[in-house]
Amino acid sequence: MSDRLRVLICGAGIGGLTAALAFVRGGAQVTVLEKAREISDVGAGIQQSPNAMAVHTALGTADDIIAAGVMPGVGIIRDFKRGRVKLRTQMKGAYEGRYGHPYVHIHRADLIDILRKHAVNAGADIRLSRTVTAYENRSDKVFVKTDHGNFTADILVGADGINSAIAAQMQGQGSARFTGQMAWRGLVDASDVSPGLIPKDASVWAGPGTHFVSYYVRGANLINFVAIKEKADWTEESWSKPGDVSQLRQAFKGWDKPVTELLNACGACFEWGLFDRPALPTWRDGRAVLLGDAAHPMLPFMAQGAAMAIEDSWALSQAVFQNSDIETALRRYERLRKPRATKLQNISKSNAGLFHAAGPAALARDAKLAAARALPFAQKMRFDPIYGYDITTVI
């Protein structure tokens, strides 16, 4: 593949910036088109599991991510009322030993800033306030229209999320589907809660139709939380819609003390509906290709949405660099990534039932978790195919 391969990426989120860095590191000429006026992210944490960190290591960003993040000691699932431990999994130290890479919690804005700086320093051209309106495949290139001029490239990458303009043209898809789940998220200064109240772990409190997640970011100075609740109707997908803190507190009234105290210390939150789409028949059309949520939107119940976009980015770049024919490269990428992404989509959906079980289903869930406590090897067997997968050794 020519070292002047021209790659046009739609979207400057985690997937788009990772793809930009992967392509430019391989010698491609990369332009990223982002419709926002600035690259930013409303305050929120994100989890980077070992499979994602494998790509960051290959791209040279892992050290910066580790320095900006927090490595959780253990992963814990607790009872929502009394905080009884249902399952505990050692993470810090154990994951590095088993998977070769750590598990890191990081502020989204910090991760995006790290990826952006590395991509720009490597030579990527990021253009803001550019909305892609259409693309057209031609014999030897792809022609892309935006609201501020037109572009041509060898490949167009749609990394523009669940409401992807590229996917909409490619698939003619309609609106995303509401899953019956809504979420609040927020950040609390660690100094605003009792010392030691929230452990420096990946903590989940599971309750009927509801669950609560907490972990630290920004050098353990901030506590990130995500609170999920089943809800019959919802209309918005926006991550930046301000939430009502009083409603949030009411939804988790009577929960374990760490949850209620953390929410009492919370001054502001955001809320959003969780949406997904049916599996797409294909992720490619001529020289246009999708990755991340544009190709396979994922519910957050396995914390693998960003990780899959990061894996996609590496796989796509390497498939293109290893194949001189674009169509062959994109076909190889889709064939490699689609089964894994679909599997993780299904696991993420099923975890909602695990966390939100009630009545007899909760008793069955607790029995399975008790068995997992008694058989640690079973936990490893569950996580090995997810966290032990290293896309940089596959392609």
Catalytic residue from among 95, 99, 215, 387: 215
Closest by CA to 115, choosing from 6, 239, 23, 16, is 16
Which amino acid is residue 356, in one-letter code? H
* 3-state secondary structure at position 292: helix
CA distance 86 to 235: 34
CB 65 within 8 A of CB 104: yes
| Residue 192: DSSP 8-state | G
| Rama region for 201: left / alpha / beta (φ>0; ψ in -120 to 50; rest) | beta
Measure Cα distances from 86 to 71, 127, 350, 363, 370 in Å: 21, 48, 18, 11, 7
Measure Cα distances from 350 to 88, 180, 207, 236, 346 in Å: 20, 14, 15, 23, 6
Closest by CA to 275, choosing from 231, 224, 340, 213, is 231
CB 146 within 8 A of CB 133: yes
Is residue 387 among the annotated active site residues?
no
Residues facing residue 226 across a β-bridge: 185, 213
Residues carrying an active site annotation: 215
